Amino acid sequence: METKRKSSFTGSLGFVLAAAGSAVGVGNIWRFPYLAAKDGGGLFLIIYLVLVLTFGFTLLVTDVAIGRRTKTNALHAFGNINKKWTFLGYVTFLVPAIIMTYYSVIGGWILKYLSVYLIGSGTEAAGDGYFTSFITSPVSPIFFMLVFLAFTAFIVYRGVEKGIEKFARIVMPGLLLMIIGIGLFSLTLKFREADGTIRTGLQGLAVYLIPNFDGITPARFLEILLDAMSQLFFSLSVSMGIMITYGSYVDKEVNLNRSLSHIEIFDTAVAFLAGMMIIPAVYVFFGTEGMASGPSLMFVSLPKVFEAMGPMGPFLGLAFFLMVLFAALTSSVSIMETLTANCMDIFHSARKKTSLVICLIFAAASVVICLGYNIFYFELTLPNGATAQLLDLMDYISNSFLMPFISLLTCVFVGWIVGPKWICEEMEASGHPFSRKKMYVFMIKYVTPVIMAVLFLQSAGVFNMFS
């Protein structure tokens, strides 16, 4: 009897769950809502949805099909197809390495809020200035970050990712239900300002859903496009080698077309609903001015929502942060696992030793990121119009700058050198039709390379030089 490769997924459900575990994380619940709010709600939402169905799908198909066809990880996959392109595999490795420096910092923030609800101080967390005083304090953010990183490293060290994937079956649907429930509650919120103006959740929903074209210039449109595209890369975990590795574990019989659509839909639904849970609440409590508050958005607004729920609030807060913590862990494990596997491959080292060294390196890097809110504080204006501290800068370098660059190269490679047929054959290898084939071919050859080149230049600030 043929023995199954240790790391191959059990059928398409195993693959979908593992990929969704990697995809659904703080990107959906923390990053998506704050970008949507910053970029004015409805317009960002529409642009994002269009991008997911076109670019997101194209990039996801490309990564997973390359992985399954070459049966190897990103480091070797490109070189396997064409020796001259080996470098691209190594470039993709940079992205998880940068993301890992700040992912645990956000994981730590979630852990902190979980502990707040655990000890019953939810009311305090709903107070103004609570989040800022937490992240600017010297020790607490570092402590929680280290605990989160230790959890992640422990799972990778033991090599038990498969075990936690089982949890994904319970946590993912649970998280989805909670987000829907809290989102519906947010719509019922109401707030009266000192001057008597009343803001309601439904007005907030309108801000989230209805595009507002006031004051949109071509430059502003490009900014929003870049934000939406960076979110797409980050959220779907594409163009960073992870989905290539996952693809290499998928059996030939799996209907990729259907599995990838499920991942795409699930990831987007969670992000959309997270926006519905957070943005109307921000609007109700802080008005339109509060929408631009950036990375703090979820941590500032949700405690207020839980507070408004009355006696049930603290329990829901606890359950919510527990599930978000879990979603964040499945993602950070996928990032650290990629780093570990790649280093084991490059240095021919053992898993335990490699994961320990990686954990130490990223602990040091993440401490520096935490200190970006006190000792190393600065305010830098990025080409997307945001004011950045260290964490945002790292996020920008990986998601807005490096990823369009990697996607550009990948699309040129697949579209023009290997040829899209190579990918299409893999998509049809299970005997199922590749339903968006025509669109895929057109996207990968013409649209994606052009848009990625434009976004890359935009992210490097080239267009800003002319304005």
Residue closest to ligand PHE (Cβ): 27
Tell me the C-alpha distance between 145 and 134, whole Å: 12
CB-nearer residue toward ligand PHE: 336 or 427: 336
CB-nearer residue toward ligand PHE: 164 or 206: 164
Q: How far is the CB of 24 from ligand PHE (least distance, A)?
A: 6
Alpha carbon 311 to its chain centroid, in Å, reads: 32
- Residue 237 interacts with ligand PHE (CB under 6 A)? yes
Figure out which of the listed residues 12, 54, 230, 235 binds ligand PHE, where binding follows CB under 6 A: 235
* 173 SS3 class: helix
Neighbours of 127 (CB within 10 A): 13
Residue 303 near residue 317, CB atoms below 8 Å: yes
Handedness of CA 288, 292, 298, 303 (dihedral sign): negative
- Residue 335 interacts with ligand PHE (CB under 6 A)? yes
Alpha carbon 288 to its chain centroid, in Å, reads: 25
Q: Pick the piece of the chain touching ligand PHE (CB under 6 A) from 8-16, 34-42, 183-191, 232-240.
A: 232-240
CB-nearer residue toward ligand PHE: 96 or 420: 96
For residues 83 to 122, the per-residue mask of contacts with ligand PHE, x marking binding by CB under 6 A and - elsewhere, is -------------x--x-----------------------
Which ranges of 287-402 would DSSP assign to H, the alpha helix? 297-308, 313-347, 351-371, 390-395
Q: Pick the piece of the chain touching ligand PHE (CB under 6 A) from 8-16, 213-221, 328-336, 449-457.
A: 328-336
Q: Give the angle subtended at the CA of 385 by the CAs of 379 and 390, to the nearest 5°.
A: 35
Residue 340 near residue 355, CB atoms below 8 Å: yes
Figure out which of the listed residues 245, 248, 301, 331 binds ligand PHE, where binding follows CB under 6 A: 331
CB-nearer residue toward ligand PHE: 403 or 424: 403
Token pair belonging to 197: 């103006």
Q: What is the CA radius of gyration of the chain?
A: 22
- Residue 52 interacts with ligand PHE (CB under 6 A)? no
Tell me the C-alpha distance between 316 and 117, whole Å: 9
Ranges within 17-46 binding ligand PHE (CB under 6 A): 22-23, 25-28
CB-nearer residue toward ligand PHE: 237 or 354: 237
Tell me the C-alpha distance between 238 and 293, whole Å: 27
CA neighbor of 147 nearest in space, from 327, 318, 337, 359: 359
CB-nearer residue toward ligand PHE: 88 or 441: 88
Q: Pick the piece of the chain touching ligand PHE (CB under 6 A) from 12-20, 118-126, 179-187, 236-244.
A: 236-244
Residues that bind ligand PHE (CB under 6 A): 22-23, 25-28, 96, 99, 234-235, 237, 240, 242, 331, 334-335
